[in-house]
Structure 1
């Protein structure tokens, strides 16, 4: 009976483990398959793609990438995307860290109303409805003819990031603030010398979220640069590759452009994965 119980317990212990690995394997397949298909599709001919050829290319056509750069001037659009994404990331980190610090540490009139408005914006998705008012506002301020308009438009809507920073800041002992004030620090000194250095993990999360959203954005970037094609970002330029000068859909060129567009964001996640997980976990626990 004892041996039978041991075997039964051993099998019972293996079932959850096997189920977990099967579930993880399925999730990995669903996550990686689109990326792998995009890269392999970018090395096929258009006929091979449209006629449903094999998973792997019959012949590897690396010239598709050259054609993508030549037809879409990817050097310019890549530079535009880098400028926009880096600028949005820096602005988001600065504004979210300041907002989160003030909301976590200071009491002022209308704070509860402001927090309620922030919370409502997290659960209500206005989407493209806000694009026209934003564009009209930037046009009234004479900012719609520069790339700065796109940067400002993409920097807004940081309610989630503000709450992440606020939750993390609440987990930092207030005694550190009081000690800094006794030593002669002002409110800005407490922020810059005490809270900001300790908030690096959550700020890394904010930076990653902001960079990803700015780099992958299509609708806002298209609307803000519709009258200025030279200021288009890489994501918008990829869609323009869908049609050639002959108005025929060239999916192999479009997939080549898409492959180029996803490389930077994959590199960012590859090198910042540990900081992302650590910061997100810390923000969740301390919030």
Structure 2
């Protein structure tokens, strides 16, 4: 009987392990397939893509990358994307850290209402409905023809990041705040000298999320730069590659541009993945 139980447990354990690996394999395939398809598609001819050729290119057309780089003026649009994404990242990290600190440490009138509104915005997506009033507001402020309009528009909607920082801050002992106040620190001193240095792991997560969202954004960047094409970001420029002077959609050139546009976000993740994982883990435990 004991031997049969051991065999049954052994089979159950193996089934569980195989099931986990199958599940992980499916997730990996669904995650990597779009990237692999984009890279391989960027090396095909337009005819191969539109007529449904094989998965791998019949011939490797690396000249697609040169055409994409020249047609899209990637240098100019890459600079725009770097300026926008970096600015959004810094602003998001600063505003989320301050908002998360106040929500975690202070009680004030209307706090519950504010948090309820923040929570509702996390689950109710208004999407493009909000773009017109945002654009009109920025136009009234005479900012619609500057790159600051896009930066401000992309910095908004940080409710999820605010709650990440708030949950992390709640895990920091309040005794540290009290000790700092006894030593003469003001509220700003507690934030800058105690909370901010200890919040680096979760701020790395916020920064990476913000950079990724700003770099990959299309619709907001398109609307905010529609009257100023020279301020367009790389994502908008890549989509424009599809429209050629020959009146035919050049998907191979667009995929080549998309492959180039993927590189910076991969580089950022490779350098920040340790802080990203550490921040998510710390936030999960302390939140």
TM-score (norm: length of structure 1):
0.97
The reply on whether 1:117 has 2:117 as its aligned counterpart is: yes
- Which residue of the partner structure matches residue 52 of structure 1? 52
Structure 2 unmatched ranges of 5 or more = none
Find runs of 4+ consecutive structure 1 residues off by over 4 angstroms: 1-5
Whole-angstrom distance in 2 between the partners of 1:208 and 1:56: 32
- Which residue of the partner structure matches residue 148 of structure 1? 148
Deviation at residue 258 of structure 1 after TM alignment: 0.7
RMSD: 1.2
Whole-angstrom distance in 2 between the partners of 1:30 and 1:115: 35
SS at match of 1:21: helix
The reply on whether 1:33 has 2:23 as its aligned counterpart is: no
- Which residue of the partner structure matches residue 89 of structure 1? 89
Whole-angstrom distance in 2 between the partners of 1:17 and 1:41: 35
SS at match of 1:118: helix
- Which residue of the partner structure matches residue 75 of structure 1? 75
SS at match of 2:76: helix
Deviation at residue 221 of structure 1 after TM alignment: 0.2
Deviation at residue 23 of structure 1 after TM alignment: 1.0
Whole-angstrom distance in 2 between the partners of 1:2 and 1:284: 40
Between stretches 111-120 and 145-154, larger displacement belongs to 111-120
SS at match of 2:54: coil
The reply on whether 1:23 has 2:20 as its aligned counterpart is: no
Per-residue CA distance 1:15-43 (angstroms, 9 max, x = gap): 10011111111111111111001001101
Deviation at residue 6 of structure 1 after TM alignment: 3.5
Whole-angstrom distance in 1 between the partners of 2:12 and 2:130: 54
SS at match of 1:43: coil
- Which residue of the partner structure matches residue 215 of structure 1? 215
- Which residue of the partner structure matches residue 242 of structure 1? 242
- Which residue of the partner structure matches residue 167 of structure 1? 167
Per-residue CA distance 1:66-119 (angstroms, 9 max, x = gap): 100111111111111111000000000000101111111112222222112212
- Which residue of the partner structure matches residue 132 of structure 1? 132
TM-score (norm: length of structure 2):
0.97
Per-residue CA distance 1:25-62 (angstroms, 9 max, x = gap): 11111111110010011011111111222111121111
Deviation at residue 140 of structure 1 after TM alignment: 0.4
- Which residue of the partner structure matches residue 233 of structure 1? 233
Deviation at residue 5 of structure 1 after TM alignment: 4.2
- Which residue of the partner structure matches residue 100 of structure 1? 100
Report the CA distance shift for 1:119/1:3 in structure 2 as closer, same or farther (over 3 A): closer
